[in-house]
Structure 1
């Protein structure tokens, strides 16, 4: 049993984009969202890459999750993520993050991905990265479908609480553990360990890191990991989740500094295009 671990936030810390938004196109192709939502997702990714988020915006995202995912088939979401994971996420992983993960594993520390996204995404991504376990948002399912209710939201203080729970289970001393994140909303997560580091920090987190003398890292080289983690282990999902990958499409677009986009919660689902029948056939 190891005595320490390294906890990694996911979006803009390990991967260059939002894991929530990255699966927009595959979900469209699977018939879960419409074309309008895909276009908004592309715009929202651009907005997400420019700045961080605050607590109010994260709360709006949770509201979008409960509305968007209600009634979705769990098996369909799982299959889409599994089939498209490497094409969608593999090219987005920062080389610097991959090196850091390998360094911690070589030092005998377990690697834990801690993300507000759902385990249908975070679990497979963690496996690809060679993480030992993941902590993610948990939503309620009934009869194989998402009810839209959030059972556990892996955000803010909840992340820190989950980390303390895992540490107690594994016998880790958090004073010897490491944590990495880009957002000031993850301040409780960073404060929970003895070795916090800000990665690609938003303005508020950069200020805190400077005041407290925390290390600040800049990751900017996304690379493919197909050859790097061939021996990756399947991580333990500490807080399983649904997190519907496109739940935050409208939320991310509603930046205070940019013109709001229309909500997509009530937009109709566009069926997958089929082949046109030939005239006379």
Structure 2
């Protein structure tokens, strides 16, 4: 049975880590960002379809094959290469307010608030570019955000990543490093995700939760007696999870091409 809002630990004990796509937000944040760019005539339908096919395999299958990781990395690089950080942040803020703010799952918002009310730190942990993750964090009043980072020189993106995409095991590594820096005991920390790709992160903490889970994560959570929260209505779990995953995987390169085109005279 799905669980209601969990009772959090005592104030100051540990932290809570939330995935973004389909955990905190309906659909994928980068997809909604790409749609915002489309509404501003910054890319074509052809761009969207081309990107959708390439990125869907990586996201839907959860494949860790090198060629899929490389494709995702290349997309993330193209997303920002040659453009100013300030320009990207301005776009993120505008599009979040216009078309993303109302896509936050109310149930997950309550989970977040419960941790905040208990005096705990709440961090986003997502493969989405950190600039977009930071906008979401600020708008929701959260503590911090970990996301995919691109290298900058003099306020302009170079087209190289600082480290790897924050996906799968990389999320767990980033959270482990953050916990050591902050002095948190991961045994009393919580983590929330919709995807079996995040099992390394979920298994790292003492209080893992599955939110709107895909089939593999739902089965794993039930086997291990993890709380399961499903805030989707009037749709079967599998039917809901796959299109959202497709959309999330699909949008990054579209946004990438859009930003590159935006910088073209």
**When the two structures are superposed, what TM-score results if normalisation uses the length of structure 1?**
0.71
Higher helix proportion (structure 1 or 2)? 2
2:100 is aligned with 1:89? yes
Superposed counterparts of 1:207-222, under 5 Å: 207-220=219-232
Superposed counterparts of 1:121-160, under 5 Å: 121-152=132-163, 153-160=165-172
The whole-number CA distance in structure 2 between the counterparts of 1:250 and 1:97 is 18
Distance 1:122 1:108, change over 3 A: same
Q: Which runs of 5+ in 1 are unaligned?
A: 222-247, 254-262, 273-281
Distance 1:265 1:112, change over 3 A: closer
Of the candidates 198, 201, 206, which is equivalent to residue 213 of structure 2? 201
Query: What is the Cα deviation at residue 103 of structure 1?
Result: 0.8
2:161 is aligned with 1:163? no
Superposition CA RMSD, Å:
3.4
The whole-number CA distance in structure 2 between the counterparts of 1:268 and 1:59 is 20
Which residue number in structure 1 is paired with residue 250 of structure 2?
A: 252
Q: Which runs of 5+ in 2 are unaligned?
A: 1-10, 234-245
SS in 2 for 1:15: coil
The structure number with the bigger radius of gyration is: 1
Query: What is the Cα deviation at residue 75 of structure 1?
Result: 2.2
Report the count of equivalent residues: 234
CA-to-partner distance for each residue in 1:84-125, whole Å, 9 max, x for gaps? 221221110001011111111112211111011112110010
**When the two structures are superposed, what TM-score results if normalisation uses the length of structure 2?**
0.75
Superposed counterparts of 1:1-281, under 5 Å: 2-28=12-38, 33-38=43-48, 53-56=62-65, 57=68, 59-152=70-163, 153-220=165-232, 252=250
Which residue number in structure 2 is paired with residue 279 of structure 1?
A: none
The whole-number CA distance in structure 1 between the counterparts of 2:42 and 2:195 is 29
SS in 1 for 2:150: strand
Distance 1:128 1:52, change over 3 A: farther
The whole-number CA distance in structure 2 between the counterparts of 1:203 and 1:195 is 20
